[in-house]
Amino acid sequence: MASKSKPHSASKEASASNGKGKVHFGIDDPGSPRRASKKHVEVVVDDDELAAMRLKSVCRHITHVQSSCSLLGERLIAAGERQTGHKLIANGFIHDNSKFRGIEWLYLHDDVLETNPVMFTAAMIQHVHGNPHHPEYWDGIENMPRLYLAEFVCDTHARASEFGTNIRDWMKEDAAKKFGFAVQGKVYKNVKGLLDLLLDSPFK
């Protein structure tokens, strides 16, 4: 299993307005998996309707990922990968927990991407470097252990279903460019194999 190195971490203080009040938080160095501490966050979203919409969106995505993790986990177990399948099912129940607190809860929402792209990006950087189902956590998709590569596949499968994207095309074209792997290489072979296990035959 590839091990994650401990990059240099330097905490930076920042503040910004979310339109409802003043927020103070710590943004860790992008290479650090540490999250902003609870004591730095001094405000929650005051708009009840907006907060409810964001909560439903986060919970809906996590539910989709849980479903994918359970299905792929069961199929990995049936294929003889009992330990990986068992752990993948368990991971589905704690997937994206970091989105419920701190900078991620305040800014990691699709509506914020348009209204405050700087803070959305800061929240996204913290998220991908703090959660092992993202290639950025491992300094590259080629370093991901099979368990977390499987969770990555479930995560992207869920997002694809939410946005009506063809996951096979996205993985072969967009993901290959974004994460720097060749479709003839080992990474794509492993990803495709996991997708083949997860997906049923196309609907006709």
What spatial distance separates the first Cα and last Cα of the chain, rounded to whole Å? Answer: 40
The answer to whether position 140 is within a domain reads yes
The answer to whether position 72 is within a domain reads yes
Domain that holds residue 76: 47-96+131-198
In which residue ranges of the chain is pLDDT below 70? 1-46
Give the β-pairing of 22-27 and 12-17: antiparallel
Contacts of 5 (CB under 8 A, 6+ apart): 139
pTM of the model: 0.77
The answer to whether position 158 is within a domain reads yes
The answer to whether position 61 is within a domain reads yes
Going along the chain, which residue ranges are E strands? Answer: 12-17, 22-27
3-57: pLDDT as tens digits: 444 333 333 333 333 433 333 333 333 333 334 444 444 444 558 899 999 999 9
